[in-house]
Amino acid sequence: MRPRPAAAISAVLVVVVLAVFGGGAAAAAGGGMVGVDGTQFVVEGGRTIYFSGFNAYWLMMMASDPARRAAVVTAFRQASARGLNLARTWAFSDGGDQPLQSSPGVYDEAMFQGLDFVIAEARRHGIYLLLCLTNNFDDFGGKRQYVRWAAEYSGHNLTAADDFFTSSVVKSYYKNHVKAVLTRVNTLTGVAYKDDPTIFAWELMNEPRCDADPTGGMVQAWVEEMAPYVKRVDGGRHLVTAGLEGFYGDGEHESKELNPWGIYYGTNYVATHRAAGVDFATIHLYPDVWLWGSTADEQAAFFRNWTRSHIHATAAFLGKPLLVTEYGKFLWKDGGAGGANKTQRNYFLDVVLDTIYASASRGGPLVGGAFWQLLLDDDDVAGMDDLRDGYEIILPEDTRAASIIGEHSEQLASLNGQDAEAFRRRHRAASSHRKTRLGSSLSSGGDSDTLRLPRMLLIRFISLSRSISSFIQDNFVLF
């Protein structure tokens, strides 16, 4: 069969990248289980891998209906065409209208097969998965649903959602869910989830917070119990993270004054990420919503302080990689008052992604991120408009955002495949005598001057070619 033009372009690019950089970009397409080496993520052989990702919490639910699985294929195809190599999505739906787990230990096989399909398709498209195991909030059940189950099925007099973190019954329900998911054997691939290298990591909870103990002790104790448990069930094959937004508590090396409005949210950034079994740190970035009503200058100042402080704290006190697992800027539908317009949103994307690349290219701990959220056009997939939340990016429509994201993906891909220890040594030496402008595209990870220009020219060429191939794929039917 004659290859489609987009596929032919991609094939040529792979050959060029492999020839120039010795296979560095190949790591982004999946190089086995992901591990950690200091502040770097690595694949087999200790080679660096960086993550340009997206959130799409809806993948399992869409795939649970075989008639709608094409939407999952389309999402992965569009993401892969822009160089994205990480998807963060839900491996839970607790109770409600479309449950994965309808009651403690009772699972809907159609939903589980939907998750099977998501994992299989991610693997086929060379995209790693960060799978989240429950929610702090009421959406899709979360911790409140677990507390309701404990009252309903075990007769425990629990009334507060934060009882989730302390109730022995609730914790046993959560552990049973962990075991059910991790030991699941994929009906399409025949591979148990705990053995599947497509899965990058397990996330204990989406955005844990705790009003019952604002200073963070309750969440801390829960993570210290659950992270090692996940590791035991998993056999230590996959990475684990807590799912924090980055809010500081009152522990050692915490900086509560940098939190939005300077208040507690029930977590400790440093202490919780130090817990046994937690392999990497996470933060989220929503300065416009966290500081609703503040000025653009105030939000910009917050962003600078938030990212700098977490990069510093992660390097100084954790020595682990850091990912921005959610970032976004709210857009009002039809440009209504109070939200940003697309120009402002795209500037925000530029600033976030420049910050990630500046850290990654200099050997810093911030080594990737995932925007919230990827959606498809409702004309192509019915029901997508119902999932709009003001943060959505529809790649074929949001061409400028897609270009920014695609260029960033290629920049990070150019750093893949390096020996992690050699990479760190080069940058320790370079940092002693060289300062680089924030976000400078010429900061190429310690390469010699003779390689910097060819590398950046190649990145621009790849980005342009990706854009052309994506346009062809998204707008034409080719035979």
Question: pLDDT per residue over 18-43, tens digit each?
Answer: 333 333 333 434 569 999 999 999 99
pLDDT for 430 equals 65
Band of residue 432 on the pLDDT scale cut at 50, 70, 90: low
**Mean per-residue pLDDT over the chain, rounded:** 86
pLDDT surpasses 80 at 252 = yes
pLDDT for residue 336? 54
One-letter identity of residue 448: S
Distance between CA atoms of residues 236 and 228, nearest Å = 9
Q: Look up 252 and say whether it is catalytic.
A: no
Between helix 449-475 and helix 5-21 the angle, nearest 10°, is 170
Confidence at residue 241, expressed as pLDDT on a 0 to 100 scale = 99
Catalytic annotation, pick one of 121, 203, 207, 410:
207
Confidence of residue 421 (pLDDT cuts 50, 70, 90): confident
Lowest mean pLDDT among 133-137, 277-281, 420-424, 462-466: 462-466
Tokens at residue 439, please? Answer: 């976000």
* CA gap 329, 350 in Å, rounded: 12
Between 72-81, 327-336, 376-385, 405-414, the lowest mean confidence (pLDDT) is in 327-336
Strand partners, 55: 88
Strand, helix or coil for residue 72:
helix
DSSP character string of 212-262: SSTTSHHHHHHHHHHHHHHHHHHTT-SEEE--------SSTT--GGGSGGG
Tell me what pLDDT residue 264 has. Answer: 96
pLDDT at 401 over 60: yes
Q: Cα–Cα distance between 11 and 22 in angstroms, integer?
A: 16
Q: What is the pLDDT of residues 178-237, one digit of tens each?
A: 999 999 999 999 999 999 999 999 999 999 999 999 999 999 999 999 999 999 999 999
Element counts in the chain: helices (H) and strands (E): 14, 13
Q: Which amino acid is at 92?
A: F
Highest-confidence range of 152-156, 395-399, 464-468, by mean pLDDT? 395-399
Exposure of 70 by Cβ count < 10 A (0-12 exposed, 13-18 middle, 19+ buried)?
A: middle
* pLDDT the model gives residue 428: 73
Q: Which of 156, 89, 87, 95 is nearest to 125 (CA)?
A: 87
**Active site (annotated) includes residue 44:** no
Alpha-carbon gap, residue 56 to 387, rounded angstroms: 10
Instruction: Report how far residue 24's alpha carbon sits from residue 12's, in angstroms, rounded to the nearest whole number.
Output: 15
Amino acid at 407: E
Yes or no: say if 50 and 412 are a contact pair by the CB < 8 Å rule.
yes
Give the tens place of pLDDT for each residue, 335-394.
555 567 999 999 999 999 999 999 999 999 999 999 999 999 998 899 899 999 999 999
Q: Which of 254, 326, 392, 410 is catalytic?
A: 326
Alpha helices in 64-208 (DSSP H): 69-81, 109-124, 142-154, 168-182
Contact between 102 and 173 under an 8 Å Cβ cutoff? The reply is no
Q: What is the percent of the chain with per-residue pLDDT over 90, rounded to a whole number?
A: 75
Please, which residues bridge with residue 271 across strands?
Answer: none
The sign one gets for the Cα dihedral 401, 404, 408, 411 is positive
Task: Report which of 173, 233, 245 is spatially closest to residue 205, judged by C-alpha positions.
Answer: 245
- The CATH code for residues 5-475 is 3.20.20.80
Domain boundaries, the chain: 5-475
Q: What percent of the chain has pLDDT over 70?
A: 81
Confidence of residue 422 (pLDDT cuts 50, 70, 90): confident
**Residue 123 pLDDT exceeds 70:** yes
